[in-house]
Structures are given as C-alpha cells and as structure tokens.
Amino acid sequence: MIEDLKNQARKRATLESPGQTLFIKGKCTMKTHSQKSWLRQSRWWLAGTVAAALLGSTNVRACEACNLVMVNKLLNGSKPSLHASEMSFLINQAEGTGAARLRTSLAALSSTPVSYPGLDLNSPSPFQAAIGGAPRPIQLAQASAPAAQRPAAAAAKHEFLDIIDRDRKLGIPETSYVLPGTKPDKKFTLVMAEGEIALGNGVIYHGFTVNGTIPGPTLIMDEGDVVELTVVNNGEVPHGVSLHAAYTQTSKYFGKIFAGETRTHTFRVTYPGVYMYHCAPGGHAIPMHTLLGQYGMMVVKPKKQKFKMDEVMGRGPDLELYMVQHELYASGKEAVEGKPAYVMFNGSLFRYVASPIKVRPGDFVRINFLNVGPNILSTFHLVGIIWDFAYWQGLPNPENTLVGGQSVLAGPTDSWVVDFRVPPDEGNYLIVNHAFGSTTRGTIGILAATKDAVRSPTVLADGPTYTPEDFAKLKAKAVRTISPFEPGSDELAAPVRLANGEKKMRISIIGNSYYPKVVAVPSGTTIEWTNDDVFAFFDGEFSGVHDVKKGNKGPSDFWSPMLGHGEKWSVTLTEKGEYNYFCTPHPYMEGIIRVE
Amino acid sequence: MIEDLKNQARKRATLESPGQTLFIKGKCTMKTHSQKSWLRQSRWWLAGTVAAALLGSTNVRACEACNLVMVNKLLNGSKPSLHASEMSFLINQAEGTGAARLRTSLAALSSTPVSYPGLDLNSPSPFQAAIGGAPRPIQLAQASAPAAQRPAAAAAKHEFLDIIDRDRKLGIPETSYVLPGTKPDKKFTLVMAEGEIALGNGVIYHGFTVNGTIPGPTLIMDEGDVVELTVVNNGEVPHGVSLHAAYTQTSKYFGKIFAGETRTHTFRVTYPGVYMYHCAPGGHAIPMHTLLGQYGMMVVKPKKQKFKMDEVMGRGPDLELYMVQHELYASGKEAVEGKPAYVMFNGSLFRYVASPIKVRPGDFVRINFLNVGPNILSTFHLVGIIWDFAYWQGLPNPENTLVGGQSVLAGPTDSWVVDFRVPPDEGNYLIVNHAFGSTTRGTIGILAATKDAVRSPTVLADGPTYTPEDFAKLKAKAVRTISPFEPGSDELAAPVRLANGEKKMRISIIGNSYYPKVVAVPSGTTIEWTNDDVFAFFDGEFSGVHDVKKGNKGPSDFWSPMLGHGEKWSVTLTEKGEYNYFCTPHPYMEGIIRVE
Amino acid sequence: MIEDLKNQARKRATLESPGQTLFIKGKCTMKTHSQKSWLRQSRWWLAGTVAAALLGSTNVRACEACNLVMVNKLLNGSKPSLHASEMSFLINQAEGTGAARLRTSLAALSSTPVSYPGLDLNSPSPFQAAIGGAPRPIQLAQASAPAAQRPAAAAAKHEFLDIIDRDRKLGIPETSYVLPGTKPDKKFTLVMAEGEIALGNGVIYHGFTVNGTIPGPTLIMDEGDVVELTVVNNGEVPHGVSLHAAYTQTSKYFGKIFAGETRTHTFRVTYPGVYMYHCAPGGHAIPMHTLLGQYGMMVVKPKKQKFKMDEVMGRGPDLELYMVQHELYASGKEAVEGKPAYVMFNGSLFRYVASPIKVRPGDFVRINFLNVGPNILSTFHLVGIIWDFAYWQGLPNPENTLVGGQSVLAGPTDSWVVDFRVPPDEGNYLIVNHAFGSTTRGTIGILAATKDAVRSPTVLADGPTYTPEDFAKLKAKAVRTISPFEPGSDELAAPVRLANGEKKMRISIIGNSYYPKVVAVPSGTTIEWTNDDVFAFFDGEFSGVHDVKKGNKGPSDFWSPMLGHGEKWSVTLTEKGEYNYFCTPHPYMEGIIRVE
C-alpha cells in the first residue's frame, strides 16, 4: 500500500529547485498540536495522514505534502478529484492487505513524540523501513509546476509569440504576460504566515496574515510597470497568492506554496485600477485563507488617461486615501455563512475615529476604495460629501466615469476611485459603509476638516503594526480573542448542551472548523459529526475532507475515517472528563467535548 | 354557504377553451399525501379546502383551483385580498348556517380514499348533492384571462394601435407587444414540473424543475425575433412563467397555469441582453417557486450594435459560455432568509472543476453571466483575467460598456456580458464568485488552457441531465437529500427538543414549510404554530395562508383553522407516538412530531 | 470627583442660544422607566449616569446630556474616545475618594421619584450641594457647535471665500455651502420622534419616526435651490439628521439634537439626484436610529440637463413614482446582523397589492427608486418591463445613463431613476425586489394598466398616515407587535431556557437591546451578560456602552458596572419571581428574567 513514499520524495526532490526541496530539507509539517499555542512544526516527513489512516489511534498527524503524496498514490495520478467515500474505500482496501503489519510496526513510533531534525534520503526512514515496497511513479501536478516554470516559459516564447504579437496590435491593453527574463521596474515581497493581530477595542484576532498585518501592504505601481513579486511562505501550512492586477496565468506559479518555500514571478500591469490580492493555496483553501485575513490592495496608477477630476482641478489630489473594507470571523461556520464578527476599514475597529484623518476645507481628496469582503457588500459613503466623480474599478476611462452620487456599491473584490472636495466649512465628515448593521461593527471613520490641519498626503490601507512590547500590552488588556478554528474566548465558545430527552449531540464540520466548538454532555451520549464542507476535491490543503481524532486530552480514544461532504460518523463516550479532538489533515482545527 | 360550486365549475368550463377545461376533465388536484412520495393526484374536483374547512377532521385535501373557487365564493369577487382572520370569520359564519349538515353528509365520503376518474357535469356530484343551493356568478379574474386572450388582443388591435404607432417612431426599441396572429421566427417550449435532480457531491435535491433540469434550458434568440413560447404544466401544482426579455404583459397569459394545462403566447424581443426567466404562478408562489429551482437564462443576441470586443478583434469569440449562478435551499425558512445550502454554476456543485472548460492560450472568450440568486449577490471573477470589456445587462450599447475590471457585481436577476482573452500561457484559470462564503459551497470552476485543447464553441447554462439508470445510481450512492418542504436527510431535520422546564414547543410556518421540521416532545406538551409567512393575500397558490392538519400517522387527530400572518394555533398532545401533519392548501408541506 | 457639574451647566447655558438651554430649562431627560409605556421624561437635570455609577443601587437613570457632561468631566476633555474598562477604572477611583459620602447624602433622593420642574442655577441643586467641589472648564465639542454656527459662518465668509470662488470657476457643480443669511428658495421641516406605526397585515411596529411616519416625508427640490431645513426633536432621546443631497458640513449643525431642541440650517442643492436622509445623532446611534425607522427620500430635480427619455418622448412622464425599499427589525441583534422581520416599499407590507397603482397602456412612467436598506440589497424589477433608460443615482448626465436592463441593483442608500413605457396591453405589472427571500416579506406591488384608468400623476414615498381612531382600530386588531428594544409579541420573545445540565444563562447586549429578550431559569442560575456592541466610544447617545440594572419588578436587586465591548458581568439569582431590567444610559432597553 505505502510502498514507494520515499521514492516519491526523492523524485520530487529531483524535480524541484534547491529552494523548494520540501522533503529533503525535512520541512514536512507534521504538527504537535497544543490547545494553547498555534501550530508547531516537527520535522518528520513521512507520517501524516497515511499513517493516521492506517494505524488506528495514534498521535501521528498529517501535513499537506503527505496528503498530496498519499492521494496521488491512492489514485495513481489518474483522477482529478475523488469523493471521500471512495477514498475511505481505498483506505479500507489497504487495511485488508497490509494494515495489520503496519499497525504493529509503527505502534512504538506513533506513541512517542516525533523529532527528526535531519533526514538522510539514502537510508530508509523508520517508517519506510517498516513499510518497504517497490517504487511506483506518481504525478505531482501542482507541486511540480514551479520547477517547470523556466522551461515552460522558454517554450511559450516560441509557442505563443503569435498571440503576443496579435495582442500588441489590437489597440487595447496587452495581457500581463512577459517573456522570461524581462527586467522588472518594481519589486515587491509578500510574506504569508499564520499569526495574531490586535483589532482595537480590546479584541485580539488569531488567523492568517500578510507581512504580519491584515490587510497586508498596499502595493502601488504604474500602468505599464513590469513587476517582480516574491512570495514567501513563512507559515506552517501551504499558502499562495492571487493577484487581481495581473492579467495572466499566476495559479501555477503562486497557486500553492508549501511552508518554507519562496516563489518569484514577473508580469506587466497593463490595466490601471484598484485591485485585490489574496492568499490562494488551491481549491477550498482559496476562499478559506482569504476569509481568515490574507489579503490587501494593489493599485495600478494610470499613465495614459487622466482622471477627470485631475483635468477639472488642473492638478492631483491634496490627499489620497487607500481604504480597504474587510471582515473578520469568529468561526469557520460564520465565515462560510457570511456572518462576520467585525467589519472594518484598514485593519482596526473604528481606526479613524480613534485617529481621524486630517484635511482642510477646500482640499481635493481621492479615495481608492476596495471592498475585500470576503462576503458582505458595502455602500461606501461620506457624510456631507457627494462625489464629484466616481470611477468604476478605479479606471479613469470615460466609459467608467460617473458623475455625482452619494455612494458607491461594492461587493467582495469590487473597487472604485472617488474624487471630491472638502466643502468650505470646518467639521467632521464621517466615512461609513452605509449598510448599517456592519457599520456598527467597525466601519466608521472620521475625516476631520480644520483650516490649519497638518495632513499627510497619503493614507495607506496596510493594517496597523505594533512593537512586540505594545502588542503584549494590548494582549494582556484584551477582553476577547477570536479564533475561527479554535474555541477562542469563553462567550464565543460557550459549551452547547443537549436539550431535554436528546441522546445525540450533533456537530457540524464546516469552514475548516467544528461547530459548536465546545459541547458538554452526560456520560453515554453519542456524538455525531457531519461534514458540511462542500468542496470535497483533493487539492488545496486537503480541500473540504475532514476527520475527527482525539487529541492529547481525555480518558478514551476515538478516530473517525475521512469524511466527505454530507458524510457522518459518531462515537458514544462513557468515560467522564474533558476531551479535545482535531482533524488530521487540518490539525489547527480543534473541538472540545466535556463528558459529565 | 357552498351552494353553487358546480355552477361555477360549469361557468368556468364555458369560459375556457377546450385545452383548459380543468374542471370538466377532472384535473382537480386533490392529493393523497404520503410521507415518502411526491404529490399524488386524484381526480375528484369538488372537495378541497372548502370541505377541509367545514368538515373538521378528515383526510380531504385542497387543490389550488378549489381554493380559488372557494375564496371567490366567500368574497363574492368583491375584494382583492383578505386577511386570514377575516376568512376564518367567514368560515365560522358558514359553520353556523350549514356546516352541521355538511359534516354529516360528507362523513362517509371523507373517511375513504377518493377516486372519481370521470365526472358528468350534468348530474350532481355526491358533494354537490349533499350541499345543493342556488347558483351565483363569481369572477375568476386570473383564471379567465387566458380564455379572453384572443378577443382582448383583437380589441387591442384597435384600442392601442396609436401606442404601437407612437413607439415605432420614437427612435428607441419598441416594446415586445405584437398583434395577434404575428408569425413567429422561433419557437420554444418550457415544461414546468416538480421533481428531483442530482447536484453532484452525493447530494440529491427534491424541488421544482424546468424541462427536468435546474437551471432550465438556455433560450437563445436574436434581437427583433418574434418568439412563440409554449408553457406546459406537467406538474401537480400551479406553475407559470415570467420572461425578463419580454417587454410586454405576460402575467395574464403565463401568470398561472394549472396542473395539466398548456399555454402559448407570442412576443417580439426588442432589447438585446442577458435575461432571466422563472416560474411565476402568482403572489407568494412567484418567489417561492423561483427559490425552489424553476428558472433559466434567455439571451437576446444583438443585431444592430456590435459588442466592442468584436470590433477590436474583427470577429466573434472562439468560445462562448452561458453561466448561471444560483442557490438551492434545504428549507423554506432558509429560502426566505437567504441562507442557501448550496450555490453553484449551471446546476451542479463544482461542475467545471470535475469537468474543466477547455480553452487555448490566446482564445477570445465571451461569458454571458446571469446571477439568478434568488437571494445572494455575486461578484463574478476569473483568477488571472481582467475583462477587456464588460457590458451591463448584456447590451452592447456604448452607454453600457465598461473597460477593464477584475469583477462584475450582480444581485439576483442582474446580468453581464464579459469579454476577455486567454493570456499566452498554459494553465488553469479559476472561475469564481468572489463572495467567498458561497464559493466554498459550489461556485468554483476551471477554465483549463492548453495549446492543443479541443474546445467546444458553446457551453450552455442548462443543468446536467442523466439517464434514468444513471440517476438511480447517483441516488443510491447519495449521502444527502435536501427537500425544502419535507424533513429530508436526518442531519438536516434533527428532532428539536424542549429546553429544561419548557412546556411549549414553538413551530414557525415560513416559506411554505414548517420549522423545525421535526420535533420530539414529552407527552402533555403544547405544540404552538405561528404563521410567519407574510404575503397573506388570496392569490397565487393560496398565498401565505396555512393550516396544520394531522396526516396519516399518529394516534390522535388535530386540525387548525386557516392562519394568516402572525396568527397562532396550538394543540396539547398526550398520546405517545409519531405524528405527521401537513397544510391542506399546500399538502406537500410536511412536519413530524414525536411524542415520547 | 463630580465637583463642577453645575458650573458646566452654566457654561453650556452661556454658550448656547436660548432655544437650546437644555440645562437651564430643566430639559434633561432622566427617565422613569415603565415596562408598558414608552420613555417618560422627568425634569431633574443633574443625576443620570454619574449618580448611577456612584451610588450603587438606586432608581436614578441617565440622560444623554448628563452622560456627555460626566464623560467630558472624567476625561478633562482630553481624549476623543475611551474604552469602558478605563471608564470603570475612573469611576472606581472616584468611589475611593468621595463615593461613600455621596452614597449617604443621596440615599433619600434616589429612593423617591424625582420631580424638579424648574431649577435656579444660582442656587446649588441638592445633588451639587451634596457634592461640592471647584469648577473646572470642560469642552463640549459636539454640543457647543450649534451655538458657534453663526460666528463660525461669519468667519468662514472670510476664511473660505477663496475656496468658494475657486469652486465657482471649476465648471462642475459647487458644493452646497452657502454664506450665512442666504435667502432660501424652499423650506422643509422634519420632526424626529419615537412612536408606533401600522405596517399592514396586522403588524404594529414600535420604533422611531420622521413626521410620524416611516419613511418620513418625500422632500422634492430643484437643482440650485437654496433649502432651509428645520429639524425638531419632538422625542425623548437625542436625534439628528444626515442629508445626502447636501454636499456640505451638516454634522455639526444637525448631528445631535437633544430632546425638545430645534435646529435650522441652510444649504444649496447643486447635484441633481435621488438621495436618502436619515437620523444621525452621532456615533453608534447613527446606524441604530436609521435601522429603527428614521429615514426618507429627498430628490433634487435636474434643471440643466434633461433625462434622455424626456428628449425621446418630447415631454415629461405621465406618472412619477417615488419608491423607497426599506427594512424593519424585531430586535437590535437582528438589526445589526441584517435579518429584517419585514422589507417593504413605502412603509407598508404589500401596500400596492392592496391598493394597486393605476396606469394606462402607453403611459410613460418614471420611478425614483431608493433602497434605504439599511442592510440588504435590492434588485428592483418590474414584471413585463425593460427599462428604456436607467440613470445611476438619479442624475440625468449622459455618463450615468444606461440603456435597457431588466433590473437595477441598489445597496443601502443607492438610488436610480428608471424610465419606461407601459406596453400597449392591459394587465398587471408586478413591482418587486428580485432578491426573492425579502420579496415574500413585503416587497411586492402592482402597477395595474387599464385603458380608462384614473391615475394620480405622483405617488410619494411617505409612509401611510392614519387618524388616531383608525390607528386605534388597527392596533386592537393587531396579531403582532414588533419592538426592537423590548420583548414585543410573545412568539418573538419566547422565554429562552437552559439546556440540560447548564448552570449559566448567557445574554448578549447588541444593537441597543438584550438578546434573548426574555429568559426563564431555575433558582440559583447565574445570568451572564456580554456587551457585543462594538462602537464603545463616548459620543452619540452613549455609544455602545451598556449596563444592566434591575427595574421596577423583581424581589432582589442587581446593577452592573458599565460594560464596554466584550466585557462581561454576571449575577446569581435565587429569589423566585419575574425581574425586569434595563440599561441606565439607554433606559428604553428592557429585558426580562423569570426565576422559577
């Protein structure tokens, strides 16, 4: 069943450039989960879901790379997707042929904490020694793409030159594709990772970040620029990036970057506008990571066509704001259902109420507005202001230019540039999302006009940063921590109990989290999990396929098979105590059961 | 009270053309409800709600036509709408005058299964014989409209010719009205019915369909075409159709079509664009049937004005996609609240992940995009693509043409045409709704670019079809069935129980369904229903007025009066066992009570 | 600690014009709360939260003005915002220095109903006499603004004339600022208050109104008009107004108007369009009051540029409709979460189904459409109609004019003008929001076309009005009352009980209301409140900061400190009975606890 895992690793190591030798360097992210800490990374590269699926009750956990290997293995690279029930079937088949032996051989291994800092590929790992078996080639399509980038690009130089030529003659902007080796005008780096930020109002958020903030850095470039982007995965799960200003293939270059990897790709920005970028590690994980906080604004400044307001005023704006509206969630379920805990501008609740943006009467102000969402709509409005001009998606073209208006409507990833003058009167002009339910959760700011205001010409959309000391203080004073994957603050994870006469506690697995997060039941209760995640295809951080495995707390053990969409599994718990449990493909998911 | 029902039926038969003799042909849809099957149709035409309301506890159930007759009767055709409390009052008055006699006479009839395959209108029915009474004319406005179509149209030829002449001279498109007898350029047929479809990912959906699929067929026509549309109601409840491409009166021709009826109407499509059509059987049922799955896309191709991209490229697209985003619901409550179980493109979860759409680098692609909704918004986006042009509502007019943009925003029934080029690079371009909560529930697809792709020039929005054998296999393997009106899969209808100390179980009637669908209570509990449906007007499948009548299971009987918005009714159940219950005007609604 | 309150009041009295002498006239709104009545106003101006915070358990309650004084006091005017935990800290400090004395001195005062109809500022109040202390100046920025209006404007005449001159020469419309003393072309008055309205379908709504209706009056003006607006606060809590047609500072003139106050301000409407106005009493209260019903439509008719359809037809419309789509809520929680109980056009459920709007075939119809929201989107559509032209935000400019289309999409405060012809055929044309979940809750109307229709040229967006007698009848017949702040109808406030084994009842404070509104618990249960309101800044009706104080019912007493966002407080109740409780800064908030 598991015969050639090592061979696959070696093959992979050969295919990839040195910086990407996930397996050789022992970067595999089998985790030791802890209720109180974020993901911890050990360095054993051959366990994971495969072992988890075959060994029964152990503490072995899966990493993304291992999942990918196993799935490719199970499928012989022949099917693009697989329903989890079929996967369970295959695993069960495996159980019939070699699982008993595996179970015995690996019992000791799995019962002790793993720690293998280095790994010599030329000698068999303990795991492989236990397994043996003949190598069989598998196809690692997603993973091998980066390695193929250079030769593929070289090929494209010849194959697609006719398209490039055609596009140059069309009289509309070219796409963003550039030939390999094109010299960049600008360089940017995005560092993807997991982490914590302070939202203001005493709230700490535990999720995913770009360059340590939510939103990530505001990337500003000029129409026609060749941009070299470097993406570093400094986290412990796969990340990636989707770049809305790039009118070209990016998925295969930035579509999935494993922990510790770095990727670079070059493209030309040809359409001006206000764009979103966000994490995109494939499949189900694209929306999940975006929902969790990995996004930012990128703006391509027009060069060929002026904004109408610049023509009217004979100059550019006195003040230019970059405003991102975005949501954060307290559970995966609410992320999927579009019920944010908080909605804000630029990373902090009421950020510009606490620190109003200073302007002077008569100022010409431009706002680059992006609604990141990722779920709810925005009608962006300033109290006391009518736009002089609004530009759809931020392009200055006459076709996209509207006159007047009290608001601009933006769904997730929609953007506008709006231009206006501060009237000849001092006072506060409120900046709001006029969808007022979400406004009360964070989307109010103040533009404060006074005649002698010392104002900054630019306000970026980057989320706030703190020194470690200041962050520690904020955390110490925090009244609430929200964490989509874990219980979080007490009032957000109050234990759910059975109604009168009910014998079964139902838990939904949705949005890479368990819901309810904490349950309290009498001894003898049956706990039933249903996987309500829909995207049950085997790409993108083991998309939408989950299991339930007892963690490091609790008197008795349990472990479900992998569950696809709509599949259920249950266990009846009689021994009293507090159990924690997690999902082996997504070990950051955690739920708690209290048997009383 | 009920004296002239037969007379009304005869009058109706006289008014209507032979194909519409609902009453003469015995098509009345009194149902025999069964928990496990869809609506069954018997052929007795004179019972229904009238009997149900007057007879106390029986198994007689109402059909739409009977409801209409009764309501017109009660009102003498004098009021456009009536609150249910007033209706109950009228029924109670009737009880005072003739109900006792009715109750005795009809006891035997109602206690046995009814089966009257033919009916001689010249002899009294058993029901009428029992009732007697003098005929009184009533007005059946909605129902008589189709019969009046031809003479009305002939009249219009004279009455409204001045308007037709005026509109021809305005320099803008005419409306869609055509004189009777105008020869059609194209003919389409839509067959409305109830049914089941497979959504993929192991999910079966039990709802309403057009031509057996969700979405129904994509109707493509040219600007200026005279279109003859035939609508067949092959189902067992009233259906209808609303056609957004038709700029003319259609409600009175297609607004309510009884089971077994067929209607035909002709109109000219004068405005190009991408439009929605959907079921529209009047009042409350218009949104309900649309929420349940009866819709599709109709596209009017422009002839006078070219799309800008066709001018730029000097030709039409290599590939044209028709994409409908739409939602399906697991309960009527969630349909009303806008909480879909699934959101998808063209009728199947991740349809174009399982079978990616093939393109070549450099291809010029056009997408006709329609967000059917019926509730949530869409920001349609392709990863790696910026539109070259986006056309609001699918019209090629310069006024509606926008340049660039990463997304187009569409609420329910909004549409766009977007044009773009596939960049000169191979790889996958994801098609998504960028409102990412719903994306994880089904709205991801893949446009796969390879240099030698064999691609289809057209991808229609029609939902998938299956052979009966394949469908049977899918159903056998299904992990979940969702059915808005009925309990459906276990985890979607887990029995709700009382909290500690609570003596009353509250059930909401909303979206033509009971919520919670299943309750489990101790003996002696009071069950209280509240009608939360708001549209309590007597048109359109007995809009928003409901009752609660015990079905074929359970030891003791109960039956509420008709409840209007906000009205409540309760019963205390002491005998143990499982009860089912339904709504007599909407017998497909079912709830379950377990008394333990 | 509280030394100079009287001095502040005197300072305030000096700053303000006679009509605004909130303190001198004894207008302070300390309330005597009653479960069954709306807010009652007493006339003691110096107690409020200060006393409440310092005295322990009393019946003294806070008014907005007192809160403002206290907060400025605590802060010495030095900070724009303060987290409630910091406030509690300050209050606790105060407790350490003078609270014991205060507690003794004020015991008698607080234990009897207060009634001080007049107040001589030259003699110390009983409260001040008890407190003593040296005056210290504080800054009442928001409150002092109206008084500064005239001198500020005079200053602006000099300071900002260059801006006014510049704007006149730009070739685009000026802002709305006018020099003091400019003679108005039109005058309007808006009266803000709390109250009840009838929604139709047997529903009474208890909330906030403008001129006694929801929506308030439709304000119609012409491009270029100088408009004098008078706003009267005829209610018992602070109100205000935000005017989207005014491109000028209005917050400091209309931003917060205390009970009994009247304000007037003048501005010129320079951009035509369809706009929203709404209540805006500062901070958190802006969205809350808007969510509660205080809004309406204001339309600036174009003079310089004609609507395209007027050019095509050579005349104006036969019929002009003003349509507001808006939502009403049954709880503050649902208001914040965007889950309306009802959605409607112009103030009543299915208003134009009950009374269809009459037109004739061939009529040219214009609809001024505004989606007030305040939360959900609208795709406005007429069955059987394609727009001839749609004008974004209601401006006739060619840039904003679109051709054709089945729908227009509008988020909260978005607006459109749409023009169309009634086709040459009689029949009903349904007016709907095509987001169909909300459609079933009230947004359906009928445009009824008959050849001899006697039609009104104008249908305004004002909510319906009733004589007191008719309203009394509607109320007597009502099946449901919804009241966001209070329990309301039984089925909307069913008592929530503990699940099996649960010892703690959790109550959320959100949207200026308690949720669940009613709880029933066994003796000995701990009740824990968490403040989930996010806007914890001290402006705008004591934004988002709440407490929990036992009211006039219940055997034992309790009173929490002020809670900021995410802060919790709990009490364990052992004595049986029904307790009511309220929030001292927002005494209209009420919850009920039943200890059994």
Helix or strand or coil: residue B464?
A: coil
The residues facing C231 across adjacent strands are C190, C263
Tell me the mean pLDDT in the region A488-501.
84
Q: Which sign does the torsion angle of CA C426, C428, C431, C436 carry?
A: negative
Name the band, by pLDDT with cuts 50, 70 and 90, for residue A158.
Answer: low
Quick one: pLDDT at residue B543? 65
Quick one: pLDDT at residue A201? 84
Residue appearing with tokens 């059946």: B140
- CB within 8 Å: A375 and B499: no
- CB within 8 Å: A534 and B349: yes
Residue B479 touches chain A, beta carbons under 8 Å: yes
The span from the CA of A200 to the CA of A213, in Å, is: 13
**Average pLDDT in chain A:** 77
The identity of residue B81, as a single letter, is S
Quick one: pLDDT at residue A547? 82
Residue C493 has pLDDT above 60, yes or no: yes
Nearest Cα of chain A lies from the Cα of B271 at a distance, in angstroms, of 21
Other CB atoms within 10 Å distance of the CB of residue A482:
23
Q: What is the pLDDT of residues B304-325, one digit of tens each?
A: 999 999 999 999 999 999 999 9
Query: Which residue from C minimizes the CA distance to B535?
Result: C440
Quick one: pLDDT at residue C545? 76
Question: Residues A310, A232: contact at Cβ < 8 Å?
Answer: no
Residue B273 has pLDDT above 80, yes or no: yes
Quick one: pLDDT at residue C537? 64
**Nearest partner of C374 among C278, C473, C290, judged by Cα:** C290
Q: Which of A128-132, C407-411, C415-419, C520-524 is least confident?
A: A128-132
Quick one: pLDDT at residue C551? 79
Residue that wins the pLDDT comparison between C126 and B63: B63
Query: Which residue from C minimizes the CA distance to B84?
Result: C201
Give one DSSP letter per residue of C35-95, joined into a string: SSSS--B----S-HHHHHHHHSS-S----HHHHHHHHHHHHTT--S---HHHHHHHHHHHI
- Taking the alpha carbons at both ends of chain C, their separation in whole angstroms is 42
Name the band, by pLDDT with cuts 50, 70 and 90, for residue A64.
Answer: very low
Name the band, by pLDDT with cuts 50, 70 and 90, for residue C339.
Answer: very high
Q: What is the pLDDT of residues B253-267, one digit of tens each?
A: 998 887 778 999 999
Residue A235 has pLDDT above 70, yes or no: yes
Tell me the mean pLDDT in the region C263-289.
94
Quick one: pLDDT at residue C25? 22
Residue C277 has pLDDT above 90, yes or no: yes
Greatest mean pLDDT among A22-26, A97-101, B69-73, B358-362 lies in B358-362
Give me the residue from A425, A434, A489 closest to C413, CB to CB: A434
Using left for φ > 0, alpha for ψ between -120 and 50, and beta otherwise, residue C110 falls in: alpha
Name the band, by pLDDT with cuts 50, 70 and 90, for residue B547.
Answer: confident
Nearest Cα of chain A lies from the Cα of C41 at a distance, in angstroms, of 28
Residue B468 has pLDDT above 90, yes or no: yes
Residue C236 touches chain A, beta carbons under 8 Å: no
Residue that wins the pLDDT comparison between C490 and B596: B596
Residue C131 has pLDDT above 90, yes or no: no
Q: Which of B535, B546, B569 to mutate to test the interface with C (most CBs of C within 10 A)?
A: B535
Quick one: pLDDT at residue C173? 98
Q: What is the pLDDT of residues C22-46, one digit of tens each?
A: 222 222 333 222 222 222 222 222 2
Tell me the mean pLDDT in the region B524-552.
80
pTM of the predicted model as reported, rounded to 2 decimal places: 0.84
Tell me the mean pLDDT in the region C435-457.
93
Q: What is the pLDDT of residues C199-257, one digit of tens each?
A: 988 899 999 999 999 999 999 999 999 999 999 998 877 889 999 999 999 998 998 88
Tell me the mean pLDDT in the region C155-162.
70
Nearest Cα of chain A lies from the Cα of C505 at a distance, in angstroms, of 10
Q: What is the pLDDT of residues A551-584, one digit of tens each?
A: 778 999 888 877 878 888 999 999 999 999 988 7
Quick one: pLDDT at residue C157? 54
Residue C97 has pLDDT above 70, yes or no: no
Tell me the mean pLDDT in the region B379-396.
98
Q: Which sign does the torsion angle of CA C475, C479, C485, C490 carry?
A: positive
The span from the CA of A215 to the CA of A202, in Å, is: 19
The span from the CA of B368 to the CA of C146, in Å, is: 55
Tell me the mean pLDDT in the region C145-172.
69
Name the band, by pLDDT with cuts 50, 70 and 90, for residue A416.
Answer: very high
CA atoms within 13 A on the CB side of C348: 20
ipTM confidence score = 0.82
User: Residues of chain A with pLDDT > 70: what percent?
Assistant: 72
Helix or strand or coil: residue A518?
A: strand
The identity of residue B103, as a single letter, is R
The identity of residue C254, as a single letter, is F
Q: Which of A199, A387, A418, A434 to mutate to test the interface with C (most CBs of C within 10 A)?
A: A434
Tell me the mean pLDDT in the region B528-543.
75
Question: Residues A496, A333: contact at Cβ < 8 Å?
Answer: no
Tell me the mean pLDDT in the region C487-507.
87
Give one DSSP letter per residue of C323-361, joined into a string: EEEEEE-SSHHHHHHT--SEEEETTBTTHHHHSPEEE-T
Name the band, by pLDDT with cuts 50, 70 and 90, for residue C121.
Answer: very low
The span from the CA of A569 to the CA of C116, in Å, is: 68
Quick one: pLDDT at residue B157? 54
Name the band, by pLDDT with cuts 50, 70 and 90, for residue B559.
Answer: confident
Residue A181 has pLDDT above 50, yes or no: yes
DSSP-derived letter for residue B578 is E
Q: What are the chain A neighbours of B436 within 8 Å (beta carbons)? A: 286-287, 290-291, 373-375, 412
Residue appearing with tokens 């995005």: A190
- CB within 8 Å: C381 and B413: yes
For chain B positions 414-433, those within 8 Å of chain C (CB to CB) are 414-415
Q: Which of A272-276, A298-302, A421-425, B285-289 is least confident?
A: B285-289
The span from the CA of B347 to the CA of B210, in Å, is: 12
Tell me the mean pLDDT in the region B534-547.
68
Residue that wins the pLDDT comparison between A552 and C185: C185
Q: Which of C157, C175, C286, C298 to mutate to test the interface with A (most CBs of A within 10 A)?
A: C175
Residue B85 has pLDDT above 60, yes or no: no
Residue B11 has pLDDT above 80, yes or no: no
Query: Which residue from A minimizes the CA distance to B399?
Result: A399
Residue C495 has pLDDT above 70, yes or no: yes
Residue A434 has pLDDT above 60, yes or no: yes
Name the band, by pLDDT with cuts 50, 70 and 90, for residue A2.
Answer: very low
Residue B406 has pLDDT above 70, yes or no: yes
Helix or strand or coil: residue A49?
A: helix
The span from the CA of A140 to the CA of A147, in Å, is: 11
Residue B449 touches chain A, beta carbons under 8 Å: yes
Name the band, by pLDDT with cuts 50, 70 and 90, for residue A537.
Answer: low
The span from the CA of B462 to the CA of B211, in Å, is: 10
Residue A141 has pLDDT above 70, yes or no: no
Tell me the mean pLDDT in the region A78-102.
37
Quick one: pLDDT at residue C282? 81
Q: What is the pLDDT of residues C84-94, one digit of tens each?
A: 444 443 344 33
The span from the CA of B500 to the CA of C525, in Å, is: 13
Quick one: pLDDT at residue C158? 62
Burial of B266 (0-12, 13-18, 19+ CB in 10 A): buried
